[in-house]
């Protein structure tokens, strides 16, 4: 197995943000990363609910619209000012769960409490991967 191991050094910086009704979840995360110039970060926690949403399924193509209020039961991913790769799991009113790749269009209902951990000594880059066909995350020493 070939891989690139990057180890950060220093204290993690935690950015704690509370989003309010009407804010777009993904766009807000991107804005925080840009404002704080986060080079490498991870979503440590994301708790709240949405009015409606958009998530992409595993095909990498199909975006599904969620047209009901849902609880955010999981929100995780890698984030930076350059790019974000975030997955979300949502619980519907009947307690069934759906999830996928977070897209713009997930609109906060009452609140969403976010904690982003910034990783010192690490930088996230992007590189075209011929095997997957996607621009993939690469880990770099800062």
pLDDT in tens, 53-85: 999 998 889 999 999 999 999 999 999 998 899
pLDDT, average across residues 87-106: 97
Task: Look at residues 7, 3, 51, 53 and name the one whose alpha carbon lies nearest to residue 26.
Answer: 53
* Alpha carbon separation from 140 to 6, 7, 49, 121, 137 (Å, rounded): 6, 9, 34, 9, 10
pLDDT of residue 36: 97
């Amino acid at each position: 197995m070939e891989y690139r191991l990057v180890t950060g050094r220093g204290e993690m910086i935690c950015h704690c943000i509370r989003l309010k009704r009407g804010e777009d979840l993904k766009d807000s995360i991107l804005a925080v990363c840009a404002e704080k110039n986060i080079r490498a970060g991870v979503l440590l926690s994301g708790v709240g609910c949405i009015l409606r949403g958009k998530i992409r399924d595993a095909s990498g193509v199909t975006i599904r619209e969620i047209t009901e209020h849902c609880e955010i039961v999981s929100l995780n991913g890698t984030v930076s000012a350059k790019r974000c790769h975030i997955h979300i799991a949502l619980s519907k009113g009947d307690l069934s769960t759906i999830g996928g790749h977070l897209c713009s269009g997930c609109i906060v209902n009452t609140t969403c409490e976010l904690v982003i951990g910034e990783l010192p000594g690490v930088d996230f880059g992007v590189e075209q991967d011929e095997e997957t066909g996607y621009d993939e995350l690469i880990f770099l020493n800062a």
